[in-house]
Amino acid sequence: MVSSASDSSPPPREEVRRRKPVIGLTTYIEPAKFGVWDTEAALLHRVYVDCVAAAGGIPVLLPPVTDAYDRLVSTVDGIVLVGGADVDPARYGQEPHEKTYTRPDRDAFEFGLLGAAIEAGVPVLGVCRGLQVISVALGGTLTQDMPEATGSREHQPAPATFGTSTITLAEGSRAAEILGAETKAMCYHHQAIDRLGDGLVPVGWAADGTVEAAELPGGNFVLGVQWHPEQDTDDLRLFAALVAAAGKENE
């Protein structure tokens, strides 16, 4: 039997949103070469997209070019603040270390986006820099160069080389509910939390005491991890938890 036009028409937009949460992934503007082009591009490591899709979400890339944060937040069900350049130390009252490299335009976008997301109750997962953005936006500070401060390169062994850490997670925390009491992590960061932002609770630590996870208590899903969960595509638990939280928000 031939289906009628009404049978083959796509489901209403709101029905699609209920089935698969839309997850916004922040991107960054960087020089790039692809094909015949050598130009600036809005970039993101593909593994973020793959992890969100595999976890049941619809990934959407968010370039750092708008100040319409409320409108943007209203179009997604969850947000991932991805890794990347250092947060401008001016945002926490310090001069930049010689090894600090920043992208102020990206800071402006992500701080505004985060504020609108928290206000609207949109779930947020911060990855590496993303944790630092969450903390600094809430009044925290950062250690600008861990190798200098600690004498160790454990968290960033070499350029483009991830370190491995065992993270201990606080009992009863959202992070522990997702990952258990302990998890293996792939780290790549030369900066770290110094003083946590207001209201944030530390819930994960590396063996050397570095804060590797923090969250806002209560019903709002706002969780940041200092490591890179997207690098282990066999372990989607953090992305799946974000997608699940985002799905609840649009029910």
Asked whether residue 2 carries a pLDDT value surpassing 50, the answer given is no
The first and second tokens of residue 35, run together, are 């094909």
Count of domains in the chain?
1
The first and second tokens of residue 134, run together, are 């969450």
The domain of 119 spans 17-249
Asked whether residue 121 carries a pLDDT value surpassing 70, the answer given is yes
**Does residue 8 lie in a domain region?**
no
The confidence band for 86, taking pLDDT boundaries of 50, 70 and 90, is very high
Residue 226: phi and psi, rounded to 5, are -80, -15
Look at residue 6 in the predicted model and tell me its pLDDT: 46
**Mean pLDDT score of the chain, rounded to an integer?**
92
The first and second tokens of residue 120, run together, are 């609207």
**Does residue 9 lie in a domain region?**
no
Residue 128 annotated in active site: yes
Asked whether residue 91 carries a pLDDT value surpassing 80, the answer given is yes
**Does residue 125 lie in a domain region?**
yes
Indicate which residue of 51, 110, 128, 187 is catalytic. Answer: 128
187-224 confidence digits (pLDDT tens): 999 999 999 999 999 999 999 999 999 999 988 999 99
**Does residue 103 lie in a domain region?**
yes
- Tell me how far apart the alpha carbons of residues 200 and 138 are, in angstroms, rounded to a whole number: 8
List the CATH number of the domain containing 38.
Answer: 3.40.50.880
Residue 98 annotated in active site: no
Indicate which residue of 110, 212, 215, 230 is catalytic. Answer: 230
Stronger pLDDT, 203 or 149, i.e. the higher one: 203
Indicate which residue of 155, 189, 190, 228 is catalytic. Answer: 228
Residue 51 annotated in active site: no
